[in-house]
Every structure is written in C-alpha cells, then in structure tokens.
Structure 1
Amino acid sequence: MDKFIGLVGTNSSHSTNRQLLQFMQKHFADQATIELVEIKGLPMFNKPDPDHKQIPAAAQVIVDKINAADGVIISTPEYDHSVPAALMNALQWLSYGVHPFVDKPVMITGASYGALGSSRAQAHLRQILDSPELKARIMPSSEFLLGHSLAGFSPDGELLDREQCNQLEGLFKDFLTFVKITKQLNHAHESNAKEAANFSWEDK
C-alpha cells in the first residue's frame, strides 16, 4: 500500500483544507496511508549563509517524511489569487539545500469559502512546484476545487456533496496510477536531483 504525505497548506488552526485532507485520510484508508503534516510550526524563511545551508529542525522532519513517502497531496486555500504565504514559506525551506520534491508525485487539491475553490492558487502552486529548485512531478489535469467549503462537511467530517465525492474518488484513483507510472520514470532522477542541487539564480 502506498504511503502519502498530506501537506496542510496553511498555518490556520481552523481550515477546511485540513478537513479535506482528514476526509481523504479516512475515506481512502483502504487504498493508501495518508499522514497529515503541518507547516504552521516553521519559522519565516530568511536565506541563511549559502556556505552553511542549515534548515530548521522542523523543516528537516518534513523533508524526511516526504523522502520516505510515495507521493504528496497538498491542499491549499486561496488568498489574493495565490497560495498562502505560509505555504510558500514552507516550500522555500523545503528547497533550500534539500530537494525532497525532485520527481516526487504530487496531487493538488484545494478548498475555499468562495465559489471558485482555490483555482488560481492551484495554478500558482503548479508553477512553484515546477520550479528548478523543486522539480516535482505534478499530476496533470487534476484540479479538485471545493468551493463554499464552510458548508462542505458534515459534523463528523464527511464530504456532503456526492458528486464532488465521486470526482475526488476518481482523481485519487488516477493519482495511484500516476504514482505507479512515475516510479518507472526514474532514469533521469540522479541528473534531476543534481541539477536542482546545483541551481542558483545568482549564476543566471
């Protein structure tokens, strides 16, 4: 059975994106193990001395979890047409001298209080994950957009809209297939990891 990391893409203590990942953790328990990982304990990124690339212990814990996982599911809210600053902050730490996302299968989901369900934030997150420092393998054509998310869950955490639940079930099955395919696309992994490790905007 595959093991996934469910990265909560916010530092909010009360987030429907956490609820969405908790639902997935429970709903797909017979298909994969999903461990929820929080980013709210990370300090603000302030580029350390490039000769001594030391990331915070909390960031290293996340790095180790991603390295050991078969894939990552990120659920992001949308603030000002973008991902939250806390999520960008986390991804900066997770690509500073460490590269757990290189060729790692990633599924993006999102929940928001409005009607659009974090569509712009998901597009922005795809750009970030595709950057030279991260080089993630993002599942294509796979937006899951939970709009009006405050009314989206029952008191016991179930997703109320049957049609959306069906869509999520289909996308999750696709992600399982995507993970299997990605594991076979490993011939350039060593080169990709080296390229990410050696990349510097200052050399451009």
Structure 2
Amino acid sequence: MNYLAIVGTNSKVSTNRMLLQFMKEHFKDEAQLELFEIKDLPAFYEPEDNQVPQQVAELSAKILAADGVIIATPEYDHTITASLKSALEWISYTSQALTDKPVLIVGASHGALGSSRAQAHLRQILDSPELAARLMPSSEFLLGKSQAAFNATGDLIYPDKVTELDEIFREFTLFTDLITKLLSEKAVIRKGKKFAWQTQKA
C-alpha cells in the first residue's frame, strides 16, 4: 500500500509530525508512507483566474495517486487547525481528490484525552458532499500526553499505544483493500449498466 500521510498543522515542532514519522518507519515493511506538509500551502481563497496554486495541485495529485490517506490532527480549541481546514477547503473547491479515498485519522495532543474532539470534527468535514472521503468506521487513535510519548530517536515509548497502533493500521490496510475492490466492481457495474430505453424493443 502507498499512503499519503498529511501533517495536520503548520507548526515547526509537532508531536503529530513525530507520530507520522514513527508510523513511516514502524510500518515500512507493510506500506510506504509519504509525509506531506501543509505549512507551505496558501490560506484558502477563491482565485479570480481559476488558477490553482502549485502547492495545492501537488497535494491533489499526491492524494489521487495514493491508495489511501492518513491525517494526523492536533486539537486547537476543541477542533482542527485552521491550516488543515484551509487545505481541505482547497481540495473541496478544486480537485475533490478525496472523494471515495480511504482515510485514517490519528492524532496527538499534550492533554490526556488526545485529539478526540478534533478527530470527531474532522470526520464531519471529510463526510461532507464535496469531500466525500471513505472513513474507516469505529476507528480512532488518540495519543495523549504526547510531549513525553517519544524518545530521542523518535520511537513511541508507550507499549500499549504501539499495540493499538499496530491493530488499527492492519485494519486500515484491509479497509483500503476492500474499498479499492468495491470501487472497482462498482465501476464495472456502471460501465455495463443499460438504461431502460436501451433494452426496449422497437
């Protein structure tokens, strides 16, 4: 599997970035993860000339090429960051590249509860008609007290959280495979479907 892992913050220092970096190394034998930084994306605006900024076009192309997307979100004031919301607005307004794309949400925060409220909000956003991502049900990875969760080499030091992450990642690879097959079969059905007027005899 090839996954695009989106760092959901423009902060230079982030435990969500560290979480994705750990996942990239930890799961390297199972999947390829490419990290994408949204800190270089412009804030969303409606371009007068309908020209999509290069960074946005690059993000869309990477999403379309990936088997699935992993988004790591912190929690600011009970919701996702403004930079992540802006990035999603660009996708919604332009390519709609997340439509039917398998998505896994993970998150880290300095508090004990992890990014639970932000993840719930992000699910609502990704379920909107213009984004319409395929979210793995009954799944959330919440890393609380994240400032103390990694050692000097970037390894996640909470054994229970590593076990939990292993399980949810295996489920996501299976979910990705199932969604890919479902969409492939759906495309075949649509291609072979005939309308009533096409089957009526003269």
Q: Fold match, TM over 0.5?
A: yes
Q: Could you tell me how far 1:189 is from its partner in structure 2?
A: 6.6
Identify the residue that residue 48 of structure 1 maps to in structure 2: 47
Over the residues paired in the alignment, what is the CA RMSD in angstroms? 1.3
Contact 1:55/1:96 (CA < 8 Å) preserved in 2? no
Q: Could you tell me how far 1:92 is from its partner in structure 2?
A: 0.6
List aligned pairs for 1:1-204, cutoff 5 A.
2-49=1-48, 52-186=49-183
Number of residues of Structure 1 aligned to a counterpart in Structure 2: 187
Deviations 1:115-165 (A, max 9, x none): 110000000000000011100001111110000000000100000000010
Q: Could you tell me how far 1:48 is from its partner in structure 2?
A: 2.5
Uncovered stretches (5+) of structure 1, i.e. residues with no partner: 191-204
Q: Could you tell me how far 1:83 is from its partner in structure 2?
A: 0.2
Find the aligned partners of 2:30 and 2:50 in 1 and give their Cα distance. Answer: 38
- Structure 1 pair 11–134 and aligned structure 2 pair: CA distance change class (3 A): same
Normalised to the residue count of structure 1, the TM-score between the two structures is 0.89
**Secondary structure of 1:95's partner?**
helix
Contact 1:71/1:179 (CA < 8 Å) preserved in 2? yes
Contact 1:103/1:189 (CA < 8 Å) preserved in 2? no
Contact 1:99/1:134 (CA < 8 Å) preserved in 2? yes
- Structure 1 pair 85–27 and aligned structure 2 pair: CA distance change class (3 A): same
Find the aligned partners of 1:95 and 1:5 in 2 and give their Cα distance. Answer: 17
Uncovered stretches (5+) of structure 2, i.e. residues with no partner: 189-202
For 2:155, the aligned partner's letter is E
For 1:143, the aligned partner's letter is E
- Structure 1's consecutive aligned runs of 4 or more residues displaced over 4 angstroms after TM superposition are 187-190
Contact 1:129/1:135 (CA < 8 Å) preserved in 2? yes
Q: Could you tell me how far 1:95 is from its partner in structure 2?
A: 1.5
Contact 1:66/1:72 (CA < 8 Å) preserved in 2? yes
For 1:181, the aligned partner's letter is L
Contact 1:77/1:110 (CA < 8 Å) preserved in 2? yes
**Secondary structure of 1:30's partner?**
coil
Q: Could you tell me how far 1:47 is from its partner in structure 2?
A: 1.9
Higher mean Cα deviation, 97-106 or 20-29?
97-106
Normalised to the residue count of structure 2, the TM-score between the two structures is 0.90
**Secondary structure of 2:93's partner?**
coil
Identity of counterpart residues, as a percentage? 54
